[in-house]
Structure 1
Amino acid sequence: MGVPKFYRWLSERYPCLSEVITDAQIPEFDNLYLDMSGIIHNCSHPNDDDIHFRISEEQIINDIFKYIENLFNIIKPQKVFFMAVDGVAPRAKMNQQRARRFMSAKNADALIEKAKRAGERIPTVKRFDSNCITPATPNTLS
């Protein structure tokens, strides 16, 4: 979710936060804190609009590890490396997320049907279903 106007407040208070740096001038950091929600989302949904794109759960996990390792190697925290993984969302948010994901799946099905009518070849490998990462689904109960 996020805190409204927090980034604005933070960047006004600490202007060097938005400073552009090069690989040669990366400062030394004591701590690295990662919000895993964004990393997981980007690694599991890199290209939702491409009906030909397929990704396996194994590839998603490998991409997450590579992403984290890349960030760690760039920042090289001296003291703390912290990964924040969200717990179970409130019920209302779960319902909203689930509705959004099902709408996304419905839109993807419509795009696939449109592509089939246009004569495009669709991969036979099943698309990754992001509903499997919603809390209280069978995959999260094991």
Structure 2
Amino acid sequence: MGVPALFRWLSKKYPKIVLPVVEEEETTVEDQDGIKLKVPVNAATPNPNGMEFDNLYLDMNGIVHPCTHPEGKPAPETEEEMMVEIFSYTERVVNMVRPRKLLLMAIDGVAPRAKMNQQRSRRFRSAQEAKDKEEARKESIILWESMGKTITEDERNKKLPLCVTGWYKR
């Protein structure tokens, strides 16, 4: 678990620690047959940001979670797609910093039993709430029809989204 507001405090107290980063992009070249090949960034070259770093310490929770639950695009469908996202993002960060001596990646272990139980009960409660909402929706349809409102087949058969039902796509 992280320290709440640590980064905000550090960046206010020491504003020079936050710097813009120049990212080198991988290049695309054509081979003899006209096939386009991607050439990755060479991390052995000098850092384009003008300063070299000896060490890079990564909290992998800050990488794994956004890669497996991205904002603005659909989540990866398979475990393999998740791993590819994690690897490419980690490679991107390493290429930005280019540590010369040490790369440390801290990865949490499995969740403690109490936390697992809490998450499980939350999922069951969410599933029960979704079931109750679906029953209320069906009752509303019956009530609307008894009042003379016409309900289309699309409205009648409309399913609640997965996030509302509490079951997650795996």
Q: For this pair of structures, how many residues does the alignment match?
A: 117
Tell me by how many angstroms 1:94 deviates: 3.8
Q: 1:76 aligns with which of 89, 92, 98?
A: 98
Q: 1:28 aligns with which of 48, 52, 56?
A: 52
Q: Which residue of 1 aligns with 2:43?
A: none
Tell me by how many angstroms 1:66 deviates: 1.0
- State the percentage of identical aligned residues: 44
Tell me by how many angstroms 1:103 deviates: 6.8
Unpaired segments of 5 or more residues in structure 2?
Answer: 24-47, 138-153, 163-167
Does the CA contact (< 8 Å) of 2:61 and 2:108 recur in 1? yes
Q: Secondary structure at the match of 1:34?
A: strand
CA distance in 1, matches of 2:112, 2:84: 29
CA distance in 2, matches of 1:76, 1:94: 37
Structure having greater relative contact order (Cα 8 Å, sep ≥ 6) = 1
Q: Secondary structure at the match of 2:99?
A: coil
Does the CA contact (< 8 Å) of 1:31 and 1:80 recur in 2? yes
TM-score normalised by L of structure 1: 0.60
Task: State the Cα deviation string for residues 85-114 of structure 1 (Å, max 9, x = none).
Answer: 0124444444444455x279749x78xx89
Greater strand content: 2
Amino acid paired to 2:3: V
Does the CA contact (< 8 Å) of 2:56 and 2:102 recur in 1? yes
Task: State the Cα deviation string for residues 28-67 of structure 1 (Å, max 9, x = none).
Answer: 21111111112111111125996xx651011101111111
TM-score normalised by L of structure 2: 0.51
CA RMSD of aligned residues (A): 3.9
Unpaired segments of 5 or more residues in structure 1?
Answer: 129-142
Q: Larger Rg: 1 or 2? A: 2
Greater helix content: 1
CA distance in 2, matches of 1:48, 1:2: 25
Answering whether residue 149 of structure 2 is matched by residue 127 of structure 1, we say: no
Q: Secondary structure at the match of 1:27?
A: coil
Does the CA contact (< 8 Å) of 2:52 and 2:98 recur in 1? yes
